[in-house]
Amino acid sequence: MFGKFHSAIIFAGIIAVAAMAGCGKKADSSSQPANPDAVPIRIAFWGAVEEKEIITKTVTDWEKNNPNVKIVLEHIPSGSYTDKVLTEIAGGNPPDIIFCEVNIFVTFFYKDALLDLAPFLAEDKNFDIKDFFPEVVGRFSRDGKILCIPRDTAPFACIYYNKNIFDKFNMPYPKDDWDMNQFLAVSKKLTFDENGKHPDEEGFNEKKIKNYGFWGWTWQNFVYSYGGRVVDDVNKPTKCLLGEQAAIDGVQMFVDLSYKHFVSPKPDSLTNMGMNINQLFTMEKLAMFQSGIWETPNLRKIIGNKFAWDVAMFPKGPGGKRGFGTGGSGYAILKTCKYPKEAWEVVKCLAGSTGQEMLADTGLAQPANRKIAEGKFWAASPKAPLNKKMLNQAVQYVLYDPFHPLWREASDKYIGQQMDLIIHNNIPVKDGLEKIASKINAILEKK
């Protein structure tokens, strides 16, 4: 009996030793004959399986024509991306090129980690930054420097709608220039309880709603549409404006959709149903929802030919005001990069047309390059949603999150917490927003 036990320990020990002996060599990811003089360029990026394949294909194709560069792709899960890259920078093993989302960009900017790309742009005749949406380039520019080349933009401006449900109620499809009142009226008509009664009708039972008209998550859009702002100046925030009347009106409208007009599921009832919004929409229990375009690949896959759907622009607010929160991303070169010239060529490839076209074709991301965004892979693409060109109009109304080193932290801590109370209708909108404003102001006043 002892023998058996001991041999188990010895066996485990042998495996341990063998594993360590076997790892003497560094893993080499390429099987092609490598050019010994090739310059190594490491790219850190994230993305789901399909996006990763597109990026990998883009750079491997490029590598074939550029044997002087050896590209090393470092695919990192999105949730831990910033942690991993910051550790690598702090530990002296940074990548050369990083994929940057518009808010992660701010973090890297304040770490002073990014190389100014303006000199490359000035010299390079084959690459014109004017081809890109100026709003997106603006986010990545600071003090006359351009620190990141945009890949895609993602205004939270889409109202996805189920054409089937509109047809059933004989309603015209939403138009991009509709306003908040029309939007509310439509939402009410498409919401009904188990007896088929709509929210404004006699006998409507808000506890037994069968189909909802609308759901959205971007309270910012409502603030902007009512003329409010999150801060006084996105690029140089000095004061939080969420406590002002316009912002309060906007968020009040957002909350009222669930608690006064009953057209949106309440956060609690969503939890009770155990469903997320995508599921509600694809199961045809929700007529419209608001989000960014990135929902598209999933919707295409799940909906298939079950029903027709499209997107319309988020409605105008009182007085025709508009404004959308936005995402987006691009590629930046780190200051520590040893071969910036070669890295620049790689960035051009990554932000170049092939990759953007393939990505646009999947529906996941709106190209930041206007020419591609207006071309056959996006605005003129025959794939659902057909109204993707609307997003090219929407870009002019985007408002980024405030550019401030502590914004992400402050937003998670204060805005997230109070907003949670507000959307659960636990505190009055005004109280919550004023609290947020005073907390955020305390942070902005600190120099």
Partner 1 sequence: MTLHQMKIISDIINKTLIYLILSLFGLSMIFPFLWMLSTSLKDPTLIFTSSINLWPSPIIWRNYLEAWNAIPFGRFYVNSTIVAIAVTAGQVVTSSMAAYAFSRLRFPGRDKIFFAYLATMMIPGMVTLIPVFILLKTLNWLDTYKALILPGIFSAYGTFMLRQFFMTLPADLEDAAKIDGCSLWRIYWQIILPLSKPALATLGTFTFLGNWQSFFWPLIVTSSEKMKTLPIGLSYFQDIYTTNWTLLMAASVIVLAPALLIFILNQRFITQGIALTGLKG
Residue 306 CB, shortest distance to partner 1, in Å, is 9
Say how many C-beta atoms besides its own lie within 10 A of residue 172's C-beta.
8
Tokens of 195: 């007896």
Q: Which is nearer to partner 1, 273 or 380 (CB)?
A: 273
- Could you tell me the two tokens for 435? 């609290």
List the structure tokens of 55: 């990026």
Shortest distance in whole angstroms from residue 209 CB to partner 1? 12
* Integer Cα distance of 283 and 97 in angstroms: 41
Radius of gyration of the chain (CA): 25
**Interaction between residue 279 and partner 1 (CB under 8 A):** yes
* Cα–Cα distance measured from residue 54 to residue 45, given in angstroms and rounded to the nearest whole number: 12
**Smallest gap, in angstroms, from Cβ of residue 25 to partner 1?**
8
- Residues numbered 63 to 122 that lie near partner 1 (CB under 8 A) are 72, 74-80, 83-84, 87-88, 90-93, 101
φ/ψ of 104, rounded to 5, equals -60, -35
CB of 303 to partner 1, least distance (A): 9
| Residue 89: CB minimum distance to partner 1, A | 10
Q: Measure the CA–CA gap between 40 and 220, rounded to whole angstroms.
A: 42
Site size with partner 1, rule: CB under 8 A: 53
Q: Which residues is 288 bridged to in the sheet? A: 161, 214
Judged by CB under 8 A, does residue 47 bind partner 1?
yes
Q: Tokens 């971007």, residue?
A: 218
Task: Indicate the residue among 20 and 122 with the shorter CB distance to partner 1.
Answer: 20
Q: Which is nearer to partner 1, 99 or 109 (CB)?
A: 99
Percent of the chain as helix, strand, coil, to the nearest 5: 45, 15, 35
Pick from 111, 80, 81: nearest CA to 99: 81
Specify the residue, 10 or 427, whose C-beta has the smaller distance to partner 1.
Answer: 10
Q: Which of residues 384-413 bind partner 1 (CB under 8 A)?
A: none
Q: Which is nearer to partner 1, 87 or 426 (CB)?
A: 87
Q: For partner 1, give the closer residue by CB, 159 or 248.
A: 159
Q: Which two tokens stand for residue 221?
A: 């859009």
Q: Is residue 325 at the binding interface for partner 1, with CB under 8 A as the rule?
A: no
Nearer of residues 168 and 210 to partner 1, judged by Cβ: 210
Angle at 331 (CA atoms; ends 136, 69), nearest 5 degrees: 150
Kindly report the CA angle at 114 between 108 and 118, in degrees rounded to 5?
135
Question: From the list 7, 15, 259, 380, which residue makes contact with partner 1 (rule: CB under 8 A)?
Answer: 15
**Binding-site ranges for partner 1 (CB under 8 A):** 2, 5-6, 9, 12-13, 15-16, 19-20, 22-23, 26-27, 29, 42, 46-49, 51-52, 72, 74-80, 83-84, 87-88, 90-93, 101, 273-276, 278-279, 282-283, 292, 294-295, 298, 301-302
